[in-house]
Amino acid sequence: MNKKRAAREFCFQYFFHLQLPIFRELKDELAKDASDKVIMDSIEEFKVSTNTLLEGDLSNFVVNQIKQTLMNYASLEETIKEYLKNWKLDRLSRVDSTVLLLAVSELKYNNNETSKSVVINEAIEIAKKFGTASSGSFINGVLDKIANAN
């Protein structure tokens, strides 16, 4: 696995854990105070609990990805809702909704650091790894529409 995918998987796992009922209060706190210190403390705590090591540039990618996703959470959800056909966001699996959230965040806010096709491919691979047999094709369809519209 390439290093950047490991960083993306870490972001996925971080946001997935925030969706668990026990961590919703933490998610709300992070959304209110998305300061670097609060986010860094939360990420460091999660890194320790998952025994994860991230090198310097990957750590910066993770912090930026998590921060921009938290700061734009509502807008990202609205974008995803706009491109779901015959689905509602709250009816998606947590895996699929988390993968979409992070991929749309990266597509919208990464300032073309990574090509759209790479972001989509990485999201598909993460969805296949953590989701169902149909997660990859579902994620591909939604992200392709979003990427072509922007």
Q: What is the pLDDT along the chain (150 residues), one digit of tens a residue?
A: 588 898 999 999 988 888 766 666 666 676 666 667 777 788 888 888 888 877 777 888 888 898 888 888 889 999 999 999 888 888 999 999 999 999 999 999 887 678 899 999 999 999 999 999 999 999 999 999 999 887
CA–CA separation, 134 vs 69, rounded Å? 25
The interaxial angle of helices 3-18 and 94-109, nearest 10 deg, is: 120
DSSP 19: T
DSSP 87: -
Q: Which of 76, 103, 111 is nearest to 12 (CA)?
A: 103
- Return the CATH number of the domain spanning residue range 3-149: 1.10.940.10
Q: At what angle do helices 3-18 and 116-130 cross, to 10 degrees?
A: 60
> Is the full-model pTM beyond 0.85?
yes
